[in-house]
Each structure stands twice: as structure tokens, then as C-alpha cells.
Amino acid sequence: MADKKRMANYELLRILAMVMVVVMHFLTWSDSLPAMDMPLTGSRVLGALMESFCLVAVNVYVLISGYFGVNSSFKPTRAVSLLCQVWFYTLLILAVFTAAGIPTALSGHGIYGLIQYLFPIETEHYWFITAYFMLYLLTPVLHQGVRHMSRRQLQIAIGCLLILFSGIKSISPVVFVFDRYGYDLPWFICVYLVAAYLRLYGSDFFEKKGWLVYVGSCLAGFGLHLTMWFLGQRWDCFHYYFTVPFHYNFIFCLTGAIGLFYGFSHVQIREGRLAGAIRKMGSLSLGIYLLHEHIDLRALWYGWIQRLINPMEKEGIGFFLGELFLSVGILFAAGMIIDWLRSRLFLAVTRKLSKTKLYLKAKELDHAFEGK
């Protein structure tokens, strides 16, 4: 969401966040996380530790957007570009699967399945994209609000939102009806506003102790998670809170994300080929998510990779790590390559349309928000 040249250290953080997302999805599909009705094996404990350190990824993505977006202009063409990028994946994978004879939501549900490909935002084909897309549409309003509020007013507003969406739920032993665990637009707005505040006013505490806050927050979440598992084996009332440390709007997940964000502010990457490559990969990283979380592919890719490396489904730390590294490597490489091809295609199409009335009209809409 930034207009200027992107900072390589934060693009590296963006890439790391996407790797973390893949790790979390691997842990889920490989059944490598502690569960109340399952024994606590070494692989599950290791999985919980990894999950604790990767859980900040989604909040980090929104923090990056808010931190740099608050000083940039809203562009309707970017919203259209994001939507076209999503359509590229929803329709391309549908076409490939149909040609290969692999069952899809379309083949299973007909016209009702087709809706999920044509209206990916409205149907939450990708829950993150739905929340992120709606957040971007709201940024003109958020920016105006932030810029016209005093520091004290902004502190009070953010504080109230965080108490409502994070503070109370983080200590509540029961689930609230309106709590979606951070998988929604209201939480993204909270995180975006936190990032905007940090960009405008900074934080000496996080600036000095970013890495310590990240590690401490993740370990605290990990410790709470395992503690609730042991308590839950004896008392059912702890079963819900056992899941809370792994919610995106859990307070330690937010502080951990802010800590990691500030930790990367001290990462120095010299200008040159490496910085350029990082920027390029950062711009393509969303493709990794759009590829492996496609509605028809999300439940299949782990099984394919497991049959490749561990067809006998043997258990143990070694097989667990082998499947993990191969999954991350394959999905990362495939996502980067496919999205690079998409970017080249989109660039060629944009050049073709650059002289058309429709394109020029779209650019006029962008200009309407400049300097606002």
C-alpha cells in the first residue's frame, strides 16, 4: 500500500510472514498440533512451539500495510488489481483441475460452487483476502480519521477497540458470540490503526525491545497453550481457553507481531541485487497464499507432498521436519514462479490497455484521492 520504493528489510519480513503462514497450514493439515483428545507427542509439542512463533504472521502483514499505508494515497486501481490477481488464481486452478479430472467445488456443487470462483471476496474463498480487500477499501476513511485526531484521541480510540476485540477475550474463559478470533475485518482495522499510530508517533519501548517482546510473547503463548492442555485433561472448562493463545486477536499474538515488526526495523540490507531480489519476492509473496489456499487445493497439497517424501506415513521428528521443509520449499517456489508469470501477463495487459478510455478513466479515480 505504499507509493514509494519499498524498504528491503520490511519486504524480507513480508516474505518471512508468508513462510510462517505456510508453516501454520502445514501444521494444521499434518495434524501436528496438540489436541485435547490426542496424546502429547514430541512432534505435537514442537508443532505448538512453531505455531506460537509463526502465529504473528497475519498481524505482521496488516501492520506493514498500516505502517506504510497511512502516508500513501488510496488507489481504486490497486483494489481492481488485487481482485484480478485473486481471479487469476481462482479461475486458473479451476481450469487446471477440471482438465485433469480432479473434483472441484464447481463439479460438486454446480452453479453454487461457481459463485465461489466468480465472487471470491463475497464468499470468502480466501478469508484473509476478504478482510484485507475490505480493509483497503476503508483506508481513505481510516486515513482521514487518523490525520484529524490528536494523539490522545487516537490513543483512546485504539485503546477502546483493543479492549473490546482483544483484551477481554484474552482473559475470558468462555467464547463470545461476536468473536471470530481475529479472522475478520474488525480486527484488521484495529491492527491497521495500531500500525498507523506507531508510524505517526513511534514507540520507544518496542523500538528498544522489539526482539525480546517477540520472543517473550511467543513463549508466553506457547506456555499458556500447553498449560491449558494439561489442565484440560482433568477439567473440561479449560478446553476453550486451550485454543485462545492461538487466536490472531490474542493479546500476545499482537504484541509479538509488533515486536517482530520493530525487530526488523534494525535489519540492515545494503542496496544492490540482494535488496532488489527481496523487493521482487516480497511483491510476489501473496501468490504463495493464493495458490496453496485455493478452495480446491488447500486440502490436497499436503497429501501429495506426504506421498512424495513419506508414503508409509511414518511418524517421528525426522519425518515431521522433512515434510515441513519440503512443503515450504515446494509451495514457496511454485507460488513465486506462478505469480511472476502472472505479473508479466498483467504488465503486458496493462500496457495494451494504457491508451484506452477505460484505463484513463480508472487513473482519474486514482487522482481523485491524491493528497487526501
Q: What are phi and psi of 7, to 5 degrees?
A: -80, 130
**Which SS3 state, helix, strand or coil, does residue 51 take?**
helix
- In this predicted model, what pLDDT tens digit does every residue of 89-101 receive, in sequence order? 999 999 999 999 9
Which of 259, 272, 248 shows the shortest CA–CA distance to 186?
Answer: 248
Query: What integer is the mean pLDDT of 22-37?
Result: 96
Do the domain assignments include residue 104? Answer: yes
Put residue 316 in one of left, alpha, beta given phi > 0 → left and psi -120 to 50 → alpha: left
- In this predicted model, what pLDDT tens digit does every residue of 40-80 receive, in sequence order? 999 999 999 999 999 999 999 999 999 999 988 899 999 99
Do the domain assignments include residue 230? Answer: yes
Mean pLDDT rounded to a whole number for the chain: 95
Q: What pLDDT is stored for residue 1 in this prediction?
A: 39
Cell of 180: 471470530
* pLDDT band at 3; cut points 50, 70, 90: very low
The domain containing residue 363 runs over which residues? 8-367
Cβ atoms of residues 238 and 174 within 8 Å = no
Do the domain assignments include residue 1? Answer: no
**Cα 206 to Cα 203: distance, rounded to the nearest angstrom:** 6
- In this predicted model, what pLDDT tens digit does every residue of 102-118 receive, in sequence order? 999 999 998 999 999 99
**Cα 228 to Cα 235: distance, rounded to the nearest angstrom:** 10
Q: What pLDDT is stored for residue 316 in this prediction?
A: 84
**Cα 228 to Cα 221: distance, rounded to the nearest angstrom:** 11
Q: What pLDDT is stored for residue 371 in this prediction?
A: 64
Do the domain assignments include residue 2? Answer: no
- In this predicted model, what pLDDT tens digit does every residue of 123-174 receive, in sequence order? 999 999 999 999 999 999 999 999 999 999 999 999 999 999 999 999 999 9
DSSP code of 371? T
Do the domain assignments include residue 372? Answer: no
Tracing cell 479515480 back to the chain, one arrives at: 365
Burial per residue of 230-264, b for 16 or more beta-carbon CB atoms within 10 angstroms, e otherwise? eebeeeeebeebbebbbbbbbbbbbbbbbbbbbbb
Q: What pLDDT is stored for residue 2 in this prediction?
A: 39
* pLDDT band at 372; cut points 50, 70, 90: low
Do the domain assignments include residue 3? Answer: no
Read off the amino acid at residue 173. Answer: P
The C-alpha torsion from 67 through 70 and 71 to 75, rounded to 10°, is 120
11-15, 241-245, 357-361, range with the lowest pLDDT: 357-361
Do the domain assignments include residue 123? Answer: yes
Domains in the chain: how many in total?
A: 1
- In this predicted model, what pLDDT tens digit does every residue of 303-332 receive, in sequence order? 999 998 888 888 888 889 999 999 999 999
Which of 202, 71, 199 shows the shortest CA–CA distance to 143?
Answer: 71
The yes-or-no verdict on residue 202 having pLDDT over 80 is yes
**Cα 153 to Cα 71: distance, rounded to the nearest angstrom:** 19
* pLDDT band at 362; cut points 50, 70, 90: confident
Q: What pLDDT is stored for residue 4 in this prediction?
A: 61
Which of 244, 320, 291, 267 shows the shortest CA–CA distance to 50?
Answer: 320
Cell of 316: 517421528
Do the domain assignments include residue 271? Answer: yes
Q: What pLDDT is stored for residue 370 in this prediction?
A: 80
Query: What integer is the mean pLDDT of 22-29?
Result: 97
- In this predicted model, what pLDDT tens digit does every residue of 256-293 receive, in sequence order? 999 999 999 999 999 999 999 999 999 999 999 999 99
- In this predicted model, what pLDDT tens digit does every residue of 335-349 receive, in sequence order? 999 999 999 999 999
